[in-house]
Amino acid sequence: MKLIGSMFSSSRLTGSTVVVLRQNNILRSSIEISNVVDRHFSIIKGQQTIRPGSPKVKPLEGIPSRYEQIAKLKAGEEYDVVIIGGGATGSGAALDAASRGLKVACIERGDFASETSSRSTKLIWAGIRYLATSAAGLLSKNLFLKPTETVKDFWGEFMMVVGCHRERRYMLEKQEHLTKWIPIAIPFDKYVVWPPPFGHPLFALFPVLAPFVLKFYDSLSQFSCPPSYVMGPQQAKEKFPQLSHRKLKFVSVFYEAQHNDARTNLAIALSAAEWGATISNYVEATEMIFEEGGKKVVGVKCMDVAGGGEEFEVKAKKVIFAGGPYTDLMRKMEDPEAKPAVQGASGSHVVLPGYYCPSDMGLLDYNTSDGRFLFFLPWQGHTLVGTTDKKCDAQTSASAPEDEVQWILNECGKYLSKDLRVRRSDVLSAWRGWRPLAADPHAPPGAPMSRDHVISENPETGVIFIAGGKWTTWREMAEHVVDRITDKPCKTTEIKLLGGEGYNKNMPIRLTQKHGMSVEVAAHLSKTYGARAWDVCELSRPTGMNWPKFGVPISTQYPYIEAEVVYACREYACTVEDILSRRTRLAFLNSEAAKDAVPRVAEIMAEELGWSEEIRMAQMEAAYAYIDTYGGPVPDKDGASLRSATFRDIIEIFNAIDEDGSGFLDRTEVEHAAVKLGFPMSAEDVGAAFDEMDQSGDGRVGLEEFESWWNGADDGGLREKMHNEFSFAKSVDDLKNMGQGAMLG
């Protein structure tokens, strides 16, 4: 085992270590992150390990290079506003303010969208859940106890849903190159559900009401969306063969919009640059600058994270914090005593192979075992399954807890046909983000509660923060926050984001014809870069094959090509991880494939950005370590109970132990299983374990008894050993083929 360790060593980054272990060419890392900035790469203070801002990098047409942006930030000029945070909210505010003619600076400490804004469910959704919960609130006993407040609450929430519909329509119509409609099926296997969803008895009848509720939902966007509809079991079977049809009564289908969140974020940030904003990634705000002898904030001290940690100041008339779930950390720089205002709510996603879902239809489970919403969506050729809302402090690591992964897989099993076996080993990637939930700490007593995003100004320092909301409402949030600092009218409803001008739906065909790209690559480039896909194609290299002629892939099976790596360097990409996580979505889709692509991406970037051999190696190491925090087919059992193994995993284990296929386990089979797993036990121990499993005491153990034993509360004996040793990555055949005494794990 060889250790290739690396240590973050900026004074502010103390305590953060990345240890990378290479064993049999598989990289494993343990990353401790105590400071949110630390994860991106190893900065050896004083040395430029990244050098992305080289003057050598060619700027994109109409957009200054990152090198020019950094030079402008350091020039010491005063800005009208400096925005801190380059997620959807901060980049949106920069675009809005710049397009109104303000002099704008915007800084992001990592890559654009490196936090929450790349880890969403990728829906631009109009708030179906809010519609349901607001109706549940209205029809509660509060209507009689506090009628005015209850109606006001309902109206506020309802208007928020109307606002989401308006923004969804804007994204689909104006940003056609980045978005598309996606039909989402809600399967019903009964007409009455109990306990009722959304905590209201009326919703026990949700299956019956759903088609009408969804028609009403359509009407809120003035029927600009494809109409919702109902499918009978037969039609559902044809359209969604993966669905379990055993008890299916009918399926309601409605439409939402879908996008590639990290790309939309980058398109917003670069559009802001196009409109004149001085915007850069890898620049961190470290301190506020106060007016002499006063409390007013007049600028920000910054650190050029990618430039060896060089510090400089940016002066501004106004400062806006757009830190998502990290907004309170920013507010501590302005006022160490600041009361908390933003709570994080974590949500994990699991990516499975594409065959678990039709390529053109998703599924919504509105009533999971713990009441959360679960989306099951086709995305970038894969199946994305995820949910949101588990309150806990935000961390910058993308790592999804194993228990959440298992929970998601269990829930999947509920709707899928029994002959589809979702196994733990099907997980190609898994990641987690933190939704910012905000409250206004400066609101006067009696002020109305905000239902969505919060904008609040500190009366002493003059700093404004904006937090909360959703991806869907980024434009509206930007409009509202910029309205606070200028009377000039907002223009963003008229603005097409980067690549939108000149895009049309036939672009993939034209790209294929002109550049000899494969259909998949051409479709991916059009939906990612819009009309700028032509520029990407100009950089593409011949494949040396008859077909496709151009577009060398960075990973087989994926439509990402080497030309995109070169192009991304011109779009301010600084690290190998930037390319693999956000500029392409390879690490989000398939963490092992992303690791395989690291060396080639590093090689191309080294050439484009003039990296030394030392920088290239450091970059590769940091990319491996970071990508290792995404989940993959092998579970990271640290901190996981694994009691909640998926039902299908348990069936696999059961079937493997059930040597004679009788559907029941006997003592001999349990004894053999212990031997196969590598821990032969005494007859007494096996007997004790068997008696524990055999709850009915009839001398044989059925699947239900085995499942209940597996998920039991106490550890001990055989179960503990099985939990610890059994590899969910192994298939039933692997297990059956194990010789005596072989060890899994």
Ligand X SMILES: Cc1cc2nc3c(=O)[nH]c(=O)nc-3n(C[C@H](O)[C@H](O)[C@H](O)COP(=O)(O)OP(=O)(O)OC[C@H]3O[C@@H](n4cnc5c(N)ncnc54)[C@H](O)[C@@H]3O)c2cc1C
Options 17, 89, 99, 581; binder of ligand X; rule CB under 6 A: 89
Interacting residue with ligand X among 52, 53, 86, 358 (CB under 6 A): 86
Judged by CB under 6 A, does residue 51 bind ligand X? no
In angstroms, the CA 522 to CA 527 distance is 9
**Contact status: 120 vs ligand X (CB under 6 A):** yes
| By CB under 6 A, residue 157 contacts ligand X | no
| Least distance (Å) between residue 1 CB and ligand X | 34
Under rule CB under 6 A, residue 114 binds ligand X: yes
- Closest residue by Cα to residue 7 from 44, 33, 40: 44
Helix (H, G, I), strand (E, B) or coil at 295: coil
Report the alpha-carbon distance of residue 234 to residue 248 in Å, rounded: 9
In the complex with ligand X, the residue whose CB is nearer, 344 or 500, is 344
Nearest CA-CA partner of 741 in 680, 650, 657, 668:
680
Question: If binding is defined by CB under 6 A, does position 299 make contact with ligand X?
Answer: no
Token pair, residue 143, equals 């209507």
Q: Which residues contact 549 (CB under 8 A, 6 or more apart)?
A: 515, 516, 517, 542, 543
Position 83 contacts ligand X (CB under 6 A) = no
Distance of closest approach, residue 469 Cβ to ligand X, in angstroms: 5
**Residue 38 CB, nearest approach to ligand X (Å):** 12
| 465's tokens | 């923060």
Stretch that binds ligand X, among 59-67, 404-412, 464-472, 639-647 (CB under 6 A): 464-472
Answer whether 323's CB lies under 8 Å from 448's CB: no
Kindly state the tokens that stand for 253: 């289908």
Q: How far is the CB of 281 from ligand X (least distance, A)?
A: 9
Contact between 575 and ligand X by CB under 6 A: the answer reads no
Q: Which is nearer to ligand X, 471 or 611 (CB)?
A: 471
125 lines the binding site for ligand X (CB under 6 A)? yes
Reduced DSSP (H G I as helix, E B as strand, rest coil) percent helix, strand, coil of the chain, to 5: 40, 20, 40
DSSP β-ladder status, 78-84 and 310-321 = parallel
Quote the least distance from Cβ 165 to ligand X, whole Å.
Answer: 12
- Torsion over CA: 669, 674, 678, 683 (sign): negative
Q: Give strand pairing partners of 179.
A: 259
Of the residues 116, 343, 406, 410, which one makes contact with ligand X according to CB under 6 A:
116
* Calpha distance 485→316 (Å, rounded): 12
Which is closer to ligand X, CB of 285 or CB of 701?
A: 285
Distance CA 468, CA 322 (A): 10
Q: What is the DSSP letter of 443?
A: P
Distance of closest approach, residue 472 Cβ to ligand X, in angstroms: 4
Site string for ligand X, 333-352 (x = CB under 6 A): --------------x-----
Query: Which residues in 588-607 contact ligand X (CB under 6 A)?
Result: none
Other Cβ atoms closer than 10 A to 546: 7
Asked whether position 398 contacts ligand X by CB under 6 A, the answer is no
| Cis status, amide bond into 358, omega within 30 of 0 | no
User: 123 near 388, Cβ under 8 Å?
Assistant: no
Q: Which is nearer to ligand X, 284 or 562 (CB)?
A: 284
630 binds ligand X (CB under 6 A): no
**Which stretch in 64-72, 88-96, 550-558, 607-615 sits in contact with ligand X by CB under 6 A?**
88-96
If binding is defined by CB under 6 A, does position 85 make contact with ligand X? yes
Does residue 433 bind ligand X (CB under 6 A)? yes
Is residue 73 within 8 Å of residue 572, measured between CB atoms?
no
**Residue choice 379, 434, 709, 728 for contact with ligand X (CB under 6 A):** 434
Query: Could you say whether residue 281 binds ligand X (CB under 6 A)?
Result: no
Q: From the CB of 338, what's the least distance to ligand X, in Å?
A: 14
Exactly one of 52, 53, 64, 90 binds ligand X (CB under 6 A); that residue is 90
Residues that bind ligand X (CB under 6 A): 84-90, 107-110, 114-117, 119-125, 284-285, 322-326, 330, 347, 388, 433-436, 469-472
